[in-house]
Structure 1
């Protein structure tokens, strides 16, 4: 098991990743109710606000996962979240996911947030890989993951039904070895 009790603040050029604060919850409710977020995450249209308040208020206490808010440095607002969760003991890996609400799209914030959290994980844990799933009808997210070094590992055919159409889930992986080849030389990041 990986201990992710420490919740860092990670600063990039465009974003800051930091532990959740109580004032972030309203934005996260709004983001989770966004039609595009619901489509690309396969979520339902209803969220119990009390459940979400409790959920985000307890993220910083979790030791088996890392949940960080994505802050847009240009206007100091929350635009989404990055999450490392679901430890796989056999592969010594964890799952990565990201959510960007409408105020943070199409400006490279998701790409930077993805790279920052992957760097943090590989520099501060001994995990062998990060994995993720993305639906085939979300090419924008696929490009973000590819820019960060993730490669296609497998496909779950017809994993989601959306508006009467069956959508494949693409399973992607970023191994420590690949991350080191792309980003890490000796004791410094490229």
Structure 2
């Protein structure tokens, strides 16, 4: 389904969507490592995004569909205006819409925002090796694996490797 996706700053009420989308403990771990505890709650998100409001190098975004309904979310952090780089993280798409190109479109818009509005030359993100669908999504959006850390994170009894992926603005 092709539609015009829009990005806007994250709002407190967007947390209700994140809580609905991240209902599986493993999925939450892939999304945030150990930055939030399961189950995800609005109180956890409120505290996190309040801290983000006070960080001049970090900003949250919500992706909206044609009707203004949230379909995804991400943040940009570690904005370095001298080195012209920024990091994408906490990337998530409504699970009911996965496989429709929504993630690729959202990450492409994020890269475009970083390049055109923030004037960044280097945009990075991380993805665990146990999430090959997300890695392919990021590759389709123009990101390339630059580094791989084997056994970067332990989830239950699993060892997850972690790719650092880079989008280079030209």
Q: CA RMSD in A?
A: 2.6
What TM-score does the superposition give when structure 1 sets the normalisation length? 0.73
Q: Tell me which of 17, 33, 43 is aligned to 1:27.
A: 17
Secondary structure of the 1:64 match is coil
Tell me the distance in 2 between the aligned counterparts of 1:71 and 1:37: 21
Structure 1: which 5+ residue stretches go unaligned? 1-11, 178-190
Q: In the TM superposition, what whole-angstrom CA distance separates every residue of 1:155-174 from its partner, at most 9, and x where no partner exists?
A: 11101113412111011111
Q: CA deviation at 1:133?
A: 0.8
Match of 2:140 in 1: 147
Match of 1:169 in 2: 162
Q: CA deviation at 1:61?
A: 6.7
Secondary structure of the 1:68 match is strand
Match of 1:5 in 2: none
Instruction: Confirm or deny: 8 A CA contact 1:131 1:172 kept in the other structure.
Output: yes
What TM-score does the superposition give when structure 2 sets the normalisation length? 0.81
Match of 1:84 in 2: 76
Match of 2:28 in 1: 38
Match of 2:6 in 1: 16
Tell me the distance in 1 between the aligned counterparts of 2:97 and 2:55: 26
- Judged with a 3 Å threshold, the aligned counterparts in structure 2 of structure 1 residues 111 and 36 are, in CA distance, closer, same or farther, namely farther
Tell me the distance in 2 between the aligned counterparts of 1:13 and 1:57: 31
Q: CA deviation at 1:125?
A: 2.5
Alignment of 1:47 with 2:37, yes or no, is no
Secondary structure of the 1:84 match is strand
Secondary structure of the 2:38 match is coil
Structure 2: which 5+ residue stretches go unaligned? none
Match of 2:116 in 1: 123
Q: In the TM superposition, what whole-angstrom CA distance separates every residue of 1:37-90 from its partner, at most 9, and x where no partner exists?
A: 3142234424353232344467567532231112233x5422221211123577
Instruction: Confirm or deny: 8 A CA contact 2:19 2:41 kept in the other structure.
Output: no
Match of 1:110 in 2: 103
Deviates more, 1:41-50 or 1:149-158: 41-50
Q: Tell me which of 71, 79, 96 is aligned to 2:88.
A: 96
Deviates more, 1:110-119 or 1:64-73: 64-73
